[in-house]
């Protein structure tokens, strides 16, 4: 599987924090390379803007709590922004992103993590859909 | 309006705070875990998230625990925390057709495009108090006090996007795929030429209520933002007053769409400048159909109001949608827009209310002084001007409003003077 850069970032942002951090720690075991923190990991917000469907006007619904990090690793930039307040996970995701971008020795494992995440998301979506489908209703009219 | 500060009392304040902390954190029952709040009191968490204007369920749960379930105080904590955060990015605009439904009903129309999906709801069951006897805990459900599956709102062994919804649920099989992005009743009405047309050729930047002061005369984008983070009860009350209250706005209320679902949060990748979906948030969305009946309105058509808020809070979104169309129809003829903007923010209202509990000794003393001045200037001891035209016995002399206020009056007296009763002349 060869993921596009954006899809990779999406899947890393959605990955289980525990697995992300463990994999990033393994990447960092390569002592011949130094990690350069370009920004973060920083906790902040992203403004969520929507376009309502009635008049087609935009408005700001609110802010979303995120954590963002950017690193340089093996000569490549890695970036991650994920929901919530988890500096370790954001930093780990950025390292994994750079590891794959640079074709590092653990690239296949980063791809594997992304594949596992994608599979887990699909399974969860199927399960959710199955549950929801049971609640589809067609009320009858009393005339 | 100015307030004179008081000082002192630090020891008592610290002791009072310690009383709160001890009862909350060291009670006889097991400590409430944040994961329990998210899983089992999710609607309360959603309300804090919505009124706090910050999608951060885990922090909202922390806030609820810290405030012992006081929603408005929890909102206060969340807003205060948010004010310390940098805004790292502006998300790409979400088109609401992207909303993936978890629940969707169309009360106005039996066969809308797409399914009527009840989802998680108790709308159709009796309000019968469950004292625990009918609770059905699944095998493997942690008992009270055990380490919950969700310790801080996010499990570490499942993907983030679905961490809050993945539990040990039984598998269900299903046939046809469920339509999760159904069309809207709005479009059905439009196709029947029953909707007021609102042509626009502009796309103004939305007003940011977190960066600019909110005052009447704002664009609709600001009013929608204000209502999206308004206090739920305030919106419901204002809506109810408009529908049934003394303002003369009684009109038909019919709901088009009522949806609860997820929308994506997207930002631009800093290197490729292409969109990246960093996660999803849950929202409640409502469209309220308005039966236009004003003399200057298109009475052969409907118009639609819109409501949207974070989390699952249908009451709020319904009130918001109805107030949106009410404000638009009102066009500034009454105080409605001003009421929406200036009186529905829970933090504003409760902050003003709560401050009344702080010492106002000097303020009140000046009020007492004014009363005395009025009385001193009155030819008949001032009583004829105070709404008590009936002659009668003078009120019993004594300290003003009990010993506490008497103490305030004592502050106003020269040192060594006795406390003067209000009825006395100085």
What one-character-per-residue DSSP string does chain A give?
Answer: ----HHHHHHHHHHS-HHHHHHHHHHHHT-TTS--EEEEEEEEEEEEEEEE-TTT--EEEEEEEEEEEEEEEETTEEEEEEEESS-HHHHHHHHHHHHHHHTT-TTHHHHHHHHHHHHHHHHHHHHHHHHHHHTTEE-PPP--
B275 and B372 co-located in one domain: no
Which of A50, A52, A85 lies nearest to residue B59, judging by beta carbons? A85
Give the CB-side neighbour count of residue B151, counting CA atoms within 13 A.
6
Does residue B208 contact residue A47 with C-beta atoms inside 8 Å?
yes
Give the CB-side neighbour count of residue A62, counting CA atoms within 13 A.
28
Task: Give residue B247's pLDDT.
Answer: 63
Does residue A136 contact residue B115 with C-beta atoms inside 8 Å?
yes
In a domain, B145, yes or no: no
Q: What is the distance in angstroms between the Cα of B116 and the nearest Cα belonging to chain A?
A: 6
Could you tell me how far CA B141 lies from the centroid of its own chain?
A: 32
Task: Give residue B155's pLDDT.
Answer: 41
Task: Give residue B245's pLDDT.
Answer: 63
Domain-terminating residue out of B54, B82, B110: B82
Which of A10, A52, A141 lies nearest to residue B308, judging by beta carbons? A52
**Residues A8-17: pLDDT tens digits?**
999 999 999 9
Does residue A86 contact residue A17 with C-beta atoms inside 8 Å?
yes
Band (pLDDT 50/70/90 cuts) for residue A140 is confident
Query: How many helical (H) and strand (E) elements, i.e. helices and strands, does chain B have?
Result: 13, 8
B348 and B410 co-located in one domain: no
The answer for B 221-280 residues in CB contact with A (under 8 A) is 221-222, 224-225, 228-229, 263, 265, 267, 269-272, 274-279
**In sequence order, what are the residues at sequence separation of 6 or more whose Cβ sits closer than 8 angstroms to the Cβ of residue B198?**
A54, A55, A56
In a domain, B376, yes or no: yes
Does residue A84 contact residue A43 with C-beta atoms inside 8 Å?
no
Show pLDDT as tens, one digit a residue, over chain B (426 residues): 455 567 888 999 999 999 999 988 888 888 899 999 999 999 999 999 999 999 999 999 999 999 999 999 999 999 999 999 999 999 999 999 999 999 999 999 999 999 999 999 999 999 998 887 655 555 444 444 333 333 343 444 445 544 444 444 444 445 678 999 999 999 999 999 999 998 888 899 999 999 999 988 899 999 999 999 999 999 999 999 888 766 666 666 899 999 999 999 999 999 999 999 999 999 999 999 988 877 888 888 999 999 999 999 999 999 999 999 999 988 888 889 999 999 999 999 999 999 999 999 888 999 999 999 999 998 876 455 555 545 444 444 444 433 344 444 444 444 444 444 443 333
DSSP string, B6-65: ----HHHHHHHHHHHHHHHHS-SSPPPPHHHHHHHSHHHHHHHHHHHTEE-HHHHHHHHH
B235 and B329 co-located in one domain: yes
DSSP class of residue B161 equals G
Q: What is the distance in angstroms between the Cα of B164 and the nearest Cα belonging to chain A?
A: 11
**pTM, to two decimals:** 0.84
Mutation for A interface: B87, B96, B105, B159, most A CBs within 10 A: B159
B327 and B366 co-located in one domain: no
Tell whether B84 lies on the interface with A, counting CB pairs under 8 A.
no
Tell whether B158 lies on the interface with A, counting CB pairs under 8 A.
yes
In a domain, B222, yes or no: yes
B291 and B423 co-located in one domain: no
Q: How far apart are CA A115 and CA A111, in angstroms?
A: 6
Nearest CA in chain A to B324: A54
Task: Give residue B414's pLDDT.
Answer: 45
B290 and B343 co-located in one domain: yes
Mutation for A interface: B160, B200, B267, B283, most A CBs within 10 A: B160
B224 and B372 co-located in one domain: no
Q: What is the distance in angstroms between the Cα of B297 and the nearest Cα belonging to chain A?
A: 17
B220 and B317 co-located in one domain: yes
Residues of B in contact with A18 (CB under 8 A): 156-157
Could you tell me how far CA B320 lies from the centroid of its own chain?
A: 11
In a domain, B189, yes or no: yes
B312 and B268 co-located in one domain: yes
Does residue B314 contact residue B284 with C-beta atoms inside 8 Å?
yes
**Residue contact A117–B272, C-beta within 8 A:** no
Does residue A100 contact residue A110 with C-beta atoms inside 8 Å?
yes
Backbone φ and ψ of B389, nearest 5°: -70, -20
Task: Give residue B397's pLDDT.
Answer: 43
In a domain, B1, yes or no: no
Q: Which domain holds residue B421?
A: 359-385+396-426
In a domain, B132, yes or no: no
**Residues A46-55: pLDDT tens digits?**
999 999 999 9
Mutation for A interface: B57, B271, B325, most A CBs within 10 A: B271
Task: Give residue B246's pLDDT.
Answer: 63
CA distances from A93 to A70, A114, B35, B58, B85 (A): 9, 11, 24, 20, 21
Residues of B in contact with A85 (CB under 8 A): 56, 58-59
Task: Give residue B7's pLDDT.
Answer: 81
Q: Is the peptide bond before A41 cis (omega within 30 degrees of 0)?
A: yes
Which of B208, B221, B304 lies nearest to residue A54, judging by beta carbons? B304
Task: Give residue B244's pLDDT.
Answer: 73
Mutation for B interface: A8, A12, A22, A53, most B CBs within 10 A: A53
In a domain, B410, yes or no: yes
In a domain, B255, yes or no: yes
Task: Give residue B273's pLDDT.
Answer: 95
Does residue B88 contact residue A66 with C-beta atoms inside 8 Å?
yes
B46 and B115 co-located in one domain: no
Q: How far apart are CA B82 and CA B167, in angstroms?
A: 30
**Tokens representing residue B337 in the block:** 């827009």
Domain-terminating residue out of B82, B104, B130: B82
Task: Give residue B152's pLDDT.
Answer: 40
**Tokens representing residue A107 in the block:** 């690239």
Provide the number of structural domains found in chain B. 3
Task: Give residue B332's pLDDT.
Answer: 87
Q: Give me the interface pTM, i.e. the ipTM.
A: 0.95
Which of B205, B265, B270 lies nearest to residue A48, judging by beta carbons? B265
B111 and B231 co-located in one domain: yes
Tell whether B199 lies on the interface with A, counting CB pairs under 8 A.
no
B230 and B379 co-located in one domain: no
């Amino acid at each position: 599987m060869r993921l596009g850069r954006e899809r990779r970032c999406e899947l890393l942002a959605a990955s289980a924090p525990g697995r992300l951090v463990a994999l990033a720690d393994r990447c960092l075991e390569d002592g011949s390379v130094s990690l350069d923190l370009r920004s973060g990991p920083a906790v902040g917000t992203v403004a969520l803007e929507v376009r309502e469907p009635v008049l087609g006007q935009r408005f700001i619904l609110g802010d979303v709590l995120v954590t963002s990090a950017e690193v340089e690793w093996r000569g490549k930039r890695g970036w991650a922004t994920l929901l919530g307040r988890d500096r370790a996970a954001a930093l780990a995701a950025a390292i994994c992103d750079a590891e794959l971008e640079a074709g590092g020795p653990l690239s296949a494992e980063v791809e594997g993590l992304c594949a596992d995440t994608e599979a887990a998301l699909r399974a969860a979506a199927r399960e959710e859909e199955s549950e929801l489908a049971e609640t589809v209703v067609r009320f009858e009219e009393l005339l | 309006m100015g307030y004179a500060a008081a000082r002192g009392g630090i020891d008592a304040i610290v002791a009072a705070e310690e009383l709160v902390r001890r009862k909350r954190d060291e009670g006889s029952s097991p400590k409430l875990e944040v994961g329990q709040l998210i899983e089992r009191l999710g609607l309360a968490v959603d309300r804090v998230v919505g009124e706090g204007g910050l999608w951060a369920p885990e922090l909202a749960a922390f806030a609820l625990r810290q405030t012992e379930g006081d929603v408005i105080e929890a909102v206060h904590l969340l807003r205060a925390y948010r004010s310390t955060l940098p805004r790292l990015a502006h998300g790409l605009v979400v088109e609401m057709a992207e909303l993936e439904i978890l629940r969707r009903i169309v009360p106005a129309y039996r066969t809308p495009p797409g399914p009527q999906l009840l989802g998680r709801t108790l709308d159709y069951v009796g309000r019968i108090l469950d004292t625990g006897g009918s609770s059905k805990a699944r095998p493997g459900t942690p008992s009270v006090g055990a380490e919950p599956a969700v310790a801080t709102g996010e499990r570490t062994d499942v993907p983030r996007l679905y961490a809050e919804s993945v539990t040990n649920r039984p598998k269900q099989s299903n046939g046809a795929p469920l339509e999760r992005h159904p069309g809207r009743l709005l479009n059905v009405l439009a196709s029947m030429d029953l909707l007021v047309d609102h042509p626009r050729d502009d796309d103004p930047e939305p007003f940011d209520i977190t960066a600019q002061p909110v005052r009447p005369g704002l664009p609709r984008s600001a009013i929608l933002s204000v209502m999206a983070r308004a206090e739920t009860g305030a919106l419901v009350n204002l809506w109810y007053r408009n529908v049934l209250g003394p303002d003369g706005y009684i009109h038909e209320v019919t709901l088009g769409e009522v949806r609860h679902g997820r929308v994506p949060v997207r930002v631009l990748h800093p290197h490729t400048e292409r969109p990246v979906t960093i996660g999803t948030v849950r929202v409640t969305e409502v469209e309220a159909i308005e039966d236009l009946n004003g003399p200057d309105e298109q009475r052969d058509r409907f118009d639609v109001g819109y409501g949207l808020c974070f989390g699952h809070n249908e009451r709020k979104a319904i009130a918001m949608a109805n107030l949106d169309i009410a404000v638009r129809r009102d066009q500034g003829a009454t105080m409605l827009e001003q009421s929406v903007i200036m009186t529905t923010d829970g933090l504003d209202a409760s902050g003003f209310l709560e401050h009344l509990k702080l010492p106002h000794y000097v303020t009140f003393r000046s009020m007492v002084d004014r009363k005395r001045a009025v009385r001193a200037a009155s030819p008949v001891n001032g009583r004829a001007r105070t709404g008590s035209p009936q002659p009668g016995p003078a009120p019993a002399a004594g300290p003003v409003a009990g010993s506490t206020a008497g103490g305030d009056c004592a502050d106003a007296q020269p040192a060594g003077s006795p406390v003067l009763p209000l009825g006395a002349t100085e």
